[in-house]
Amino acid sequence: MGVPIVYLCMFLREKKNSSGSVSVQIISKSSGKYKVVKTVGSSSNEQEILRLTYLGKQEIERISCQPKLFVSENDTIVDQVFSALNNANIRTVGPEIIFGKIYDHIGFNAITEELFRHLVIARLAFPLSKLKTIDYLYRFQGVMLDVDAVYRFLDKLNSKLQFQVEQISFTHTKKVLQGNISVVFYDMTTLYFEASDEDDLRKTGFSKDGKHQNPQIFLGLLVGLGGYAIGYDIFEGNIYEGHTLIPFIEKISKKFNLDKPIVVADAGLLSNDNIKALKDLDYRYIIGARIKNEPEKIKKQILDKRLGDGQMMTIRKSGNTRLIVAYATNRAVKDEHNRKRGLQRLEKQIKAGKLTKSSINNKGYNKYLKLTGDVSIEIDYEKFNNDQSWDGLKGYISNTNLKDKQVIENYKNLWYIEKAFRMSKTDLRIRPIYHRLKHRIEAHICISFTAYCIYKELERVLHKEKSILSLKKSAELTHNMYQITYTLPESKHTKSKLLKMDDQQAELFQIIHKNF
């Protein structure tokens, strides 16, 4: 004790005090003169003196801004190890340890094509174009792919893998629902293309996305309760969606040996032909009704009833088919708001002179337009006001033995499929589609369908564990989950280690590895 530790012109001194304690001081030397820069502390305890000495060394490093003061042998070894590292030693592993774990759990690892795995996980973590996906896989995963090889793979992917993908998905859905697939939900959406030309699959038609000038296709999706995927199909972009229901249901039922489940679909699929076909094939169904299109006698019966909030009525139709009509105050408020917003849009378009004879049709709020004289387009305010009496009313057509309330509750579960489309279009960015060739379009949908199944399973376990993490946030958290690979200097053993995660990343990691 008492021997000064000198480095350049600043050092530590341990000064004995008359009380028997030792003060640890930082001393500077300038022009032959010594000066106490700082007293770190004093103590008579040897361990405490050692601690004060350590703090003093740190303080000298801070003051003098010389990071290599008092470097220990261990520090030198660590420094040498890190000096040998480069970018290739650190890579993003979050997508694989989160989404890859779910991919394996569902059973998609039975697909032996490693490239399929890469494309699905990339779609979940970084939903980009195929070219950008290749760049991502190389930069973040160290996987080098040739773009031509990827496109050759896409050319054969759908015909080779769709059946297996759907089988794996169906088996998982059956397991999640504990074997109960007595009710299925079917809906369609349009997916548009950036390219402007049509072909045998991509057609211009009525677009639910408002992209009427873009070629499009229809995607039909069948899910069970909770939105768990069963199967999908692709249709030409100019087909009437009502014509897809029966072929699709029959195809899926035969493929998975479904025992005539109750089919739930929205009003867009309601037609006399569909109702007849469902009856002839012995299917039970719940389909949204277009009550304003009912015969005048039935419409009068509905309006005369004047239902209150939560009330419902039943009107018997042919055979065992019935029309159920329910009223909800919150729906009435929403209907009125939408009607007024639609009216304001029409008024604005008329003022701007943007409407022509071709605008007069029954699509949306254009039904309120009328032609006066030869060229003048006006709004039929009487028709607009008369529609107020229908605000809050919703109809359902069914031939099931379920109680009216059960019919309505089952129909409400259609929001799961709406959510599925929303997740696919926003989080997974299934649209717009940049491919032109039919088999590559089908491959893109197959990859997106698989990604949706994984996304849905992630949603399930987050809810089960009562996590507040959203799906989008979870995907973002995977972007900077890193793994470092290093070689020990003496043994030359190579090791890999996950870098420490923040609290949210650690929560997500623990949830995944607890459940899968």
The pLDDT tens digits for 95-145 are: 999 999 999 999 999 999 888 998 899 888 887 766 777 777 777 667 787
pLDDT, residue 77, reads: 65
- Of all helices (H) and strands (E), which one includes residue 498? strand 494-498
Does the pLDDT at position 203 exceed 70? no
Mean pLDDT of the 264-288 span = 87
Mean pLDDT of the 31-60 span = 80
Closest Cα partner for 288 from 172, 163, 194, 418? 418
Closest Cα partner for 98 from 510, 509, 515? 509
Mean pLDDT of the 417-423 span = 71
Average pLDDT, the chain: 81
pLDDT band of 395, cuts 50, 70, 90: very high
- Of all helices (H) and strands (E), which one includes residue 30? strand 22-30
Residue with the two structure tokens 């946030």: 473
Instruction: Give 243-262 pLDDT, tens digit per residue.
Output: 788 888 888 888 888 888 89
441 in Cβ contact with 435 (< 8 Å): yes
pLDDT, residue 167, reads: 93
Please give the biggest Cα pair distance in the chain: 114
pLDDT, residue 123, reads: 84
Does the pLDDT at position 433 exceed 50? no
3-class DSSP assignment, residue 113: coil
C-alpha distance from residue 454 to each of 166, 218, 442 (Å): 13, 22, 19
Helices marked H in 99-191: 101-106, 114-125, 130-141, 147-176
Closest Cα partner for 433 from 178, 143, 202, 267? 202
481 in Cβ contact with 97 (< 8 Å): yes
91 in Cβ contact with 141 (< 8 Å): yes
pLDDT, residue 474, reads: 94
pLDDT, residue 382, reads: 87
Mean pLDDT of the 330-342 span = 93
pLDDT band of 411, cuts 50, 70, 90: very high
State both tokens at 126. Answer: 């970084």
Mean pLDDT of the 191-199 span = 48
pLDDT band of 199, cuts 50, 70, 90: very low
| Least confident range of 85-89, 159-163, 352-356, 410-414 | 85-89
3-class DSSP assignment, residue 392: coil
pLDDT, residue 313, reads: 96
The side-by-side arrangement of strands in the sheet containing 216-223 is 229-236, 216-223, 183-192, 262-265, 285-289, 393-398, 322-327, 312-316
Does the pLDDT at position 72 exceed 80? no
Separation between Cα atoms, residue 103 and residue 107, nearest integer Å: 7
Beta-carbon count within 10 A of 281 CB = 13
Q: pTM of this prediction?
A: 0.71
Closest Cα partner for 323 from 297, 288, 276? 288
Q: At what angle do helices 415-426 and 438-464 cross, to 10 degrees?
A: 110
- Domain-wise residue ranges, the chain: 5-70, 331-390
35 in Cβ contact with 27 (< 8 Å): yes
Separation between Cα atoms, residue 63 and residue 50, nearest integer Å: 20
Mean pLDDT of the 390-413 span = 94
pLDDT band of 440, cuts 50, 70, 90: confident
pLDDT, residue 303, reads: 94
Closest Cα partner for 443 from 151, 132, 96, 111? 151
Higher pLDDT, 41 or 6: 41
Mean pLDDT of the 342-368 span = 80
pLDDT band of 53, cuts 50, 70, 90: confident
Work out the percent of the chain whose per-residue pLDDT is above 70.
82
Separation between Cα atoms, residue 316 and residue 478, nearest integer Å: 55
pLDDT, residue 78, reads: 65
pLDDT band of 79, cuts 50, 70, 90: low
Does the pLDDT at position 36 exceed 70? yes
